[in-house]
Amino acid sequence: MELKKLLKDLCNAFGPSGFEEDVRALIREQVEPIADKVEEDALGNMTAWKKGESDRVVLIDAHTDEVGIMISHVDDKGFLRFATLGGWDARQFPGTRVTLKTKSGFVPGAIGFTPPHITKPEERSKAIPTENLAIDIGVKSKDEAAELGIVPGTPGILDGPFVSLPGNRAMAKAFDDRAGCAAAIKVMEEFSDTKLPFTLAVNFATSEELGLRGAKVSSYRIAPEIALVLETTTAGDFPGVPGHLSPCIMSDGVALTVADRTMLTSPKMLRFLQEVAQKNEIPHQLKQPLFGGTNAGEIHLSRSGVLTGVLAVPGRYIHGPSSVIDLHDLDCMIKLAIAAIKEIPKRLM
């Protein structure tokens, strides 16, 4: 499938942490025809395997989940309270639209806010704690909400449909990390007719946003020797962010992690990725330490240690419903991952 269409479908899919089944179904359609085996584990990781000339494993990882919400309480009038799944800034919530997923389908709703007509000026400048917010799904009672399948534990997301922007840019929710998922599929497609010297495992990980939970168990099962994590990371090149607090820049190419809160990239791996990028003339940049964290944090510490690198697409306003990326950067990430896989047997194994 064409990259932009694939990315659009993946971003529009519903998949907060722990509820990524729609995303997995889309990915499965793409990888099943080209993989030797596709397996899912108890937590919700899905791994596509491509058997090579040896049993030594190289892992490509991307996480399927997006930051989301979960209904915590339904009151007598049918208003819903919610908890957060993953790292949110509560200032984004008031007045936004949500989609909740029940056993029988999707339910739309609005996170209510008090209009300026009835608030005092000093109230308008304050952030409202999430616990004080409520979702309105247009019902009048707890029973009506229950008829729609809304109960404590119902998962949800903030709406943010995929929209193309000028140039090669786009706006959507969930680029973190559906951009990585799209890239991982494209990398797998590239080698569909090739017998690699090693076995390739492409893992689509669950629950990264809840503390790298999926990667913790998948890296044990897959037992890789080398891993590349494909991510979307924070670009800070917009008004209000000083340069020293901007982890990377949109449209400047794929971002390489030097160190973040979960991993210090081995200088051997970082040098390798930089040299492969230079040799292949792939635009790339170093991501400023120490912002963020990725599945690499768990993967590199699994078993007896895994040589791990992180490639990321810079995304503005990530962990929000209207993130912006440049597809040129995504293309750079795909090209570098492909070039690295070709070089790994010569340089790292």
Interaction between residue 331 and Zn ion (CB under 5 A)? no
d(CA 62, CA 81): 31
Is 65 or 331 the residue whose CB approaches Zn ion more closely?
A: 65
DSSP-assigned states of every residue in 125-164: TSPPPGGG--EE-S-SSHHHHHHTT--TT-EEEE----EE
Identify which of residues 176 and 326 has a Cβ nearer to Zn ion in the complex: 176
Q: Which is nearer to Zn ion, 84 or 280 (CB)?
A: 84
Q: Which token pair is 294?
A: 């990725």
Between 197 and 236, how does the x/- string for binding to Zn ion read (CB under 5 A)?
----------------------------------------
Here the tokens at position 326 are: 């440049």
Minimum separation from the CB atom of position 323 to Zn ion (A): 11
Report the C-alpha gap between 294 and 158 in whole angstroms: 22
Least Cβ distance, residue 233 to Zn ion (angstroms): 7
- The CA distance from 277 to 204, in Å, is 24
Whether residue 117 is annotated as binding a ligand: the answer is no
Q: What is the DSSP letter of 179?
A: H
Concerning whether 298 is annotated as a catalytic residue, the answer is no
**DSSP output for 99-131:** EEE-SS-EEEEEE----GGGS-HHHHTSPPPGG
221 Cα distance to chain centroid:
21
- Among the listed residues 21, 39, 190, 208, the single catalytic one is 208
- Binding-residue total with Zn ion (CB under 5 A): 2
In the list 176, 225, 298, 329, the residue contacting Zn ion (rule: CB under 5 A) is 176
Candidates 61, 65, 66, 177; binder of Zn ion (CB under 5 A) is: 177
Query: Per rule CB under 5 A, is residue 61 in the interface with Zn ion?
Result: no
Is 284 annotated in a binding site? The answer is no
In 29-120, DSSP assigns E strands to: 37-40, 46-50, 57-63, 68-74, 80-85, 97-101, 106-111
Q: Was 53 annotated as part of a binding site?
A: no
How many other C-beta atoms lie within 10 A of the C-beta of residue 142? 18
Q: x/- binding map, residues 291-320, to Zn ion, per CB under 5 A? A: ------------------------------
Name which of 64 and 154 has its Cβ closer to Zn ion.
Answer: 64
Is 244 assigned to a binding site?
A: no
319 is known to lie in a ligand binding site: yes
Neighbouring CB atoms inside 10 A of 176's CB total 29
Active site residues: 208
For the annotated binding site, the residues are: 63, 176, 209, 231, 319
List of residues contacting Zn ion (CB under 5 A)? 176-177
For the annotated binding site for Zn(2+), the residues are: 63, 176, 209, 231, 319
